[in-house]
Structure 1
Amino acid sequence: MFQLWKLVLLCGLLAGTSASLLDIRGNDVLRKLQSGLERGLDTFDSTLETIFQNLKTELEFRCSHEVVEETQETENLLEQLISRIFQVVYSLTGVRIKNVQVPDITFEASDNGADVKIPITADITVNLPLLGEIVDLALNVGLQTTVSIEPDTETGASKVVVGECPNNPESISLTVLHSRFGLLNNVVDIGVNLARRVVSSVVQDELCPRFLKLLESLDAECVKKLIGKSQPGEVERRLPPQPHRGWYAALCLQHQQV
């Protein structure tokens, strides 16, 4: 009887004006998120700036050595920062983004400096009105920019120059793991679209600005060491992914191939 009631409700959501309620609710969620992003997520969680400063200190510590040491602490702090950001997003939107992983960070030498890339994976559960949490997704998003060392036109000293952090639709991949109650594609698509728009807003207004701010805060000598002595065309400097994360990548690949 309970399952039949759910089926009737789902059919109603897909019929007439009921189907548009999910879109209307989604727009309300996005407006609330945008308002929060404009205020700054630090106003909701004071620990974000603390974690950011710890991350900056960790990178500077690594740069204090003749040879930059590769440690897992940088990835751990990045994961903490991104996880806290997504916790605030959940409180604003009802879109739960958890199990954040940063498999590796790369500095790949180029003609003018280096291409910097931070891949992020996570799990998403979308909470739709009346139905509760019903669509589970796997998220892959890649943050990237360029960094170079250039002479200051006034002082002649070296300075760090950071490029843009493009928010391309292709950089956000969402894979449906499963949906509950046997939802029809129309409702699943609404959940996926809502998740994509939430992630895109967070990337543009929160993750990318913090990513650029972190690189800009480092001194020129530190950035030189992070880039290393690689010349264009050589193998990139890569912080190796941790073995214990291999199961997650395999799981994502499995679902993408289905």
Structure 2
Amino acid sequence: MFQLWKLVLLCGLLAGTSASLLDNRGNDVLRNLKSALERGLASFDSTIEVIFQNLKTELESRCSDEVVENQESENLLEQLISRIFQVVNRLTGVRIRNVQVPDITFEATSDNSADVKIPITAGVTVNLPLLGEIVDLDLNVDLQTSVSIETGDETSDSKVVVGECTNDPESISLTVLHRRFGLLNDVVDIGVNLARRVVSSVVQDELCPRFRELLESLDAECVKKLIGKSQPGEMRKLRLIEDKRHIEVTG
């Protein structure tokens, strides 16, 4: 009969071994991810750049009167972020799925400036050595920046200025949905930390630069329309479920 203390010892050894392997693997994963991010994730999947260019065109169309009817509704920002995370999964083994981006919010801080936020939710699964998929997480993260219009003298045009995209790792919310092995809390914590560092790296080196480029691609008149005529402190939501070239804006 297999004694209970031996089972506990075996589980402890497995936990320690898995924690050590995961820690080593995590460092390797982060080094590989950093190298990939320096190259740009679009170099691993050309569809990322195609979706991004379509998204820029879509956002610009909000500032024109041209609307294309009878087009299939889609959320290009969700598509872009999902595709980026698919590449991250191939590179790291950290699977980020069911990405949802309901809207972009513009909160006016003056007549010509606003704080901009993109809320992202998703599910995360981290593969652990020896034990397989053991930790499932809920992810919540907000991309935040500011946009303003600077007006020069009479001979110069207005200019769109985009602020820094904030990336505080502690602002990334990861909630453990369940733990399959109650004795492996240390391993689960290492898995959560790995997921946080992966998401933080992707936010800083891929999503924030994309977000910044997206806003910088707009002209001053377009940004004025997106900020709207609301008073400072009021928020407008830019819905991202659209008919190719039409975006609904709500107060």
Q: Smaller-chain TM-score range? A: 0.7 to 0.9
Matches within 5 A, 1:20-99: 20-65=20-65, 76-99=75-98
Contact kept? 2:77, 2:240, Cα under 8 Å: no
Does the alignment pair 1:113 with 2:116? no
Q: Distance in 2 between matches of 1:32 and 1:145?
A: 28
Greater relative contact order (CA < 8 Å, ≥ 6 in sequence): 2
How big is the shift at 1:236?
1.1
TM-score scaled by length of structure 1: 0.82
How big is the shift at 1:11?
1.9
Does the alignment pair 1:156 with 2:156? yes
Contact kept? 1:6, 1:181, Cα under 8 Å: no
Q: Distance in 2 between matches of 1:241 and 1:84?
A: 17
Q: Distance in 2 between matches of 1:42 and 1:174?
A: 26
Change (3 A) 1:7 1:226: farther
How big is the shift at 1:51?
0.3
Change (3 A) 1:176 1:25: same
Q: Distance in 1 between matches of 2:157 and 2:34?
A: 39
DSSP 3-state at the match of 1:64: coil
Contact kept? 2:105, 2:117, Cα under 8 Å: yes
Q: Distance in 1 between matches of 2:7 and 2:95?
A: 23
Q: Distance in 2 between matches of 1:116 and 1:49?
A: 22
Change (3 A) 1:187 1:18: closer
Change (3 A) 1:89 1:10: farther
Contact kept? 2:138, 2:176, Cα under 8 Å: yes
Aligned partner letter, 1:99:
N
DSSP 3-state at the match of 1:141: strand
Q: Distance in 2 between matches of 1:52 and 1:154?
A: 34
Aligned partner letter, 2:117:
K
Does the alignment pair 1:126 with 2:126? yes
Aligned partner letter, 1:97:
I
Contact kept? 1:12, 1:19, Cα under 8 Å: no
TM-score scaled by length of structure 2: 0.84
Instruction: Structure 1: give runs of 5+ residues left out of the alignment.
Output: 67-71, 243-258
In structure 1, the residue matched to 2:12 is 11
Point out the structure with the larger helix share.
1
Q: Distance in 2 between matches of 1:52 and 1:206?
A: 12
Contact kept? 2:18, 2:129, Cα under 8 Å: no
In structure 2, the residue matched to 1:202 is 202
Q: Distance in 1 between matches of 2:148 and 2:28?
A: 41
State, as a whole percentage, how many aligned pairs show the same letter.
Answer: 78
How big is the shift at 1:181?
3.6
Q: Alpha-carbon deviations, 1:191-211, whole Å to 9, x = none?
A: 100000000000000000000
Q: Distance in 2 between matches of 1:224 and 1:176?
A: 41
In structure 2, the residue matched to 1:254 is none
Aligned partner letter, 2:109:
S
In structure 2, the residue matched to 1:255 is none
Does the alignment pair 1:189 with 2:197? no
Q: Alpha-carbon deviations, 1:26-82, whole Å to 9, x = none?
A: 11111111111111101100011110011111111111039xxxxx967x1000000
Q: Distance in 2 between matches of 1:88 and 1:42?
A: 9
CA RMSD of aligned residues (A): 2.6
In structure 2, the residue matched to 1:250 is none
Contact kept? 2:162, 2:215, Cα under 8 Å: yes
DSSP 3-state at the match of 1:196: helix
How big is the shift at 1:18?
5.9
Q: Distance in 2 between matches of 1:46 and 1:188?
A: 34
Count of equivalent residues: 232
Aligned partner letter, 2:12:
C
Instruction: Structure 2: give runs of 5+ residues left out of the alignment.
Output: 67-71, 242-251
Q: Distance in 2 between matches of 1:192 and 1:39?
A: 26
